[in-house]
């Protein structure tokens, strides 16, 4: 039955009841008044439902005049955002050599009005925007470094709507979003309660071992950051959970010798490593939360006719679980120890034995508390996406947010908008599409919601 028929039946019943008390004429008038009231209520409810994507979600300040000004500004100078993304990407920033890109990023923040922008001892570029007081301190960052070695061609090519270049999405997009948020806060004349700290950090990618955020949270801003947002990559999703990782360079050393003359008298470092890889391949990960391992790089040897005196392999282990990560680490160590013992036992008359050591490449910590979609900082991001008519999903990964999560600080990594692919490859690409500008708008709305706006929203 159509809802209007239900309403008619209800009104008829109400009119009959009223008639028995007040008479038919009055009952008709009362019913008509009630019908008008119900109709107005239904219309208001329908209007509110249809407007839900643009309505404030809880404490989101989507209707704040400053936010509206900033949203309009971001959309109007979206081409400027893309220009920054491309031009920054064409400045090389290989691991541990992000200085030139960092210096240029600092110049751009100063040009936007952040005169006190500084570069810290490890190369992080930092600008602070003071709040009025009474709100949490919110840090938002994108990372300067790329995975690409020195000498990589970093020119960006444009074909149609597609930009192709090393690092164009990861994380030149994040850097462009940080600049856009910085500009929008000022142009929108937005006054936050809490201080907002805008950062371009070093050392996010593998060899950097999170050295940028380690410096921020362990030294420069230790105990001073209440909320943290990393902008990394393309799309509109949220990394809400931290995948921890242990990475080692496992080095095998032996006496070496001639492949013919010393055969049978000395063990081989490469053979020991091969035994270790075979044993590692047989490991069954701990049950429950996903836990992985991989031998990604092997090196060693002198020549085809030399019993190798050295060999090394780079091993990666990952999990969201602290316990599982510790267990798989123990299993890998045990496999290597058994492999070395087996290789030494194979040649018992050798005057020297194979030895092994684990050199740490990087340790990325697991989050102290597992965050869910209902965790306030994550819910803020998801609600902000809904307010902008963005579909955002949550997932687990290994990012700069691992470090603050491990310290118990609410943190997350968000995408920067648009769409992209081939991350960490020379063919990496980015397309802004029709909604790329919503990436910076999303980041701005999250920052404003977390820091709080004077007179509009309480964080």
- Helix (H), strand (E) at residue 198: strand 196-201
Give the pLDDT score at 24. 44
Give the pLDDT score at 59. 74
Give the pLDDT score at 11. 38
**Tokens coding 193:** 């309660």
Compute the distance between CA of residue 270 and CA of residue 259 in angstroms, rounded to an integer: 13
Compute the distance between CA of residue 429 and CA of residue 422 in angstroms, rounded to an integer: 7
Compute the distance between CA of residue 430 and CA of residue 44 in angstroms, rounded to an integer: 42
Give the pLDDT score at 25. 40
Compute the distance between CA of residue 116 and CA of residue 126 in angstroms, rounded to an integer: 9
Compute the distance between CA of residue 416 and CA of residue 436 in angstroms, rounded to an integer: 8
Give the pLDDT score at 369. 86
Give the pLDDT score at 206. 84
Give the pLDDT score at 12. 44
Give the pLDDT score at 33. 44
Q: pLDDT band at residue 418, thresholds of 50, 70 and 90? A: very high
Cβ-based neighbour number of residue 63 at 10 Å: 12
User: Residue ranges per domain, the chain?
Assistant: 3-50, 65-243+367-451, 245-364
Q: What is the pTM of this model?
A: 0.83
Give the pLDDT score at 426. 80
Give the pLDDT score at 37. 44
Q: Per CATH, which fold does 65-243+367-451 belong to?
A: Aminopeptidase (3.40.630)
User: What single string gives the DSSP state of each residue in 141-174?
Assistant: EEE---SPPTT-----EEETTEEE-TTTTTTHHH
What angle, rounded to 10 degrees, do the helices at 322-346 and 269-281 form? 140
- Tell me the H-state helices in 268-309: 269-281
Give the pLDDT score at 31. 40
- Tell me the H-state helices in 266-321: 269-281
Compute the distance between CA of residue 371 and CA of residue 411 in angstroms, rounded to an integer: 9
Q: What CATH architecture is 245-364? A: 2-Layer Sandwich (3.30)
Compute the distance between CA of residue 13 and CA of residue 29 in angstroms, rounded to an integer: 14
Q: pLDDT for 389-412, tens place per residue?
A: 999 999 999 999 999 999 999 999
Give the pLDDT score at 1. 41
Name which of 354, 347, 176, 168 is nearest 270 in CA terms: 354
Give the pLDDT score at 457. 56
User: Would the pLDDT of 110 be above 60?
Assistant: yes
User: Would the pLDDT of 293 be above 50?
Assistant: yes
Compute the distance between CA of residue 285 and CA of residue 332 in angstroms, rounded to an integer: 10
Say what the alpha-carbon torsion angle 34, 40, 41, 42 is, to the nearest 10 degrees: 110
Q: What is the mean pLDDT of residues 259-286?
A: 97
Q: What is the mean pLDDT of residues 334-346?
A: 98
Q: pLDDT for 135-182, tens place per residue?
A: 999 999 999 999 999 999 999 999 999 999 999 999 999 999 999 999
**Tokens coding 208:** 């950097």
Cβ-based neighbour number of residue 22 at 10 Å: 13
- Reported in sequence order, the residue ranges of 29-156 that DSSP labels E, i.e. its strands, are 118-119, 125-129, 138-143
CA geometry: angle at 31 spanning 25 and 36, to 5°?
130
Compute the distance between CA of residue 169 and CA of residue 233 in angstroms, rounded to an integer: 5
Mean pLDDT of the chain: 89
Q: What is the mean pLDDT of residues 78-82?
A: 98
- β-pairing, 162-164 with 429-431? antiparallel
**Tokens coding 70:** 């900033």
User: Would the pLDDT of 360 be above 90?
Assistant: yes
């Amino acid at each position: 039955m159509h809802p209007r028929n239900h309403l008619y039946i209800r009104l008829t019943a109400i009119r009959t009841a009223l008639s028995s008390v007040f008479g038919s004429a009055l009952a008709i008038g009362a019913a008509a008044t009630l019908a008008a009231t119900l109709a107005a209520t239904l219309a208001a409810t329908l209007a509110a439902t249809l407007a839900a994507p643009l309505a404030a979600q809880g404490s989101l300040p989507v209707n704040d005049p400053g936010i509206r000004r900033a949203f309009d500004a971001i959309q109007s100078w979206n081409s400027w955002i893309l220009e920054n993304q491309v031009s920054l990407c064409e400045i090389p920033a290989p691991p541990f050599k992000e200085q030139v890109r960092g210096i240029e990023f600092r110049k751009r923040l100063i040009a936007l009005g952040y005169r006190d922008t500084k570069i810290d001892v490890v190369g992080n570029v930092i600008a602070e925007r003071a709040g009025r007081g009474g709100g949490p301190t919110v840090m938002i960052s994108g990372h300067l470094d790329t995975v690409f070695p020195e000498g990589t061609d970093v020119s960006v090519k444009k074909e149609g709507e597609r930009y192709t270049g090393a690092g164009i999405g990861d994380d030149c997009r994040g850097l462009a979003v940080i600049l856009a948020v910085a500009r929008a806060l000022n142009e929108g004349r937005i006054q936050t309660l809490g201080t907002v700290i805008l950062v371009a950090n070093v050392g996010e990618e593998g060899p950097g071992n999170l050295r940028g955020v380690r410096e921020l949270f362990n030294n420069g801003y230790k105990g001073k950051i209440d909320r943290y947002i990393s902008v990394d990559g393309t799309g509109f999703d949220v990394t809400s959970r931290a995948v921890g990782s242990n990475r080692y360079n496992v080095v095998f050393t032996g006496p070496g010798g001639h492949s013919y003359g010393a055969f049978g008298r000395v063990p081989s470092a490469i053979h020991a490593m091969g035994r270790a890889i075979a044993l590692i391949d047989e490991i069954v990960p701990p049950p429950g939360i996903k836990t992985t391992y991989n031998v990604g790089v092997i090196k060693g040897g002198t020549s085809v006719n030399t019993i190798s005196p050295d060999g090394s392999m780079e091993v990666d282990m990952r999990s969201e679980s602290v316990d599982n990560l510790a267990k798989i680490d123990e299993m890998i160590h045990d496999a290597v120890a058994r492999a070395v013992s087996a290789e030494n036992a194979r040649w018992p008359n050798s005057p020297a034995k194979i030895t092994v050591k684990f050199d740490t490449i990087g340790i990325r910590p697991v989050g102290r508390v597992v965050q869910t979609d209902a965790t306030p900082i994550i819910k803020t991001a998801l609600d902000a996406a809904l307010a902008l008519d963005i579909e955002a999903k949550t997932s687990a990964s290994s990012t700069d947010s691992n470090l603050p999560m491990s310290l118990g600080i609410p943190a997350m990594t968000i995408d920067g908008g648009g769409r992209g692919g081939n991350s960490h490859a020379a063919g990496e690409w980015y397309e802004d599409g029709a909604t790329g500008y919503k990436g910076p708008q999303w980041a701005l709305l999250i920052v404003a919601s977390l820091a709080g706006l004077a007179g509009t929203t309480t964080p």
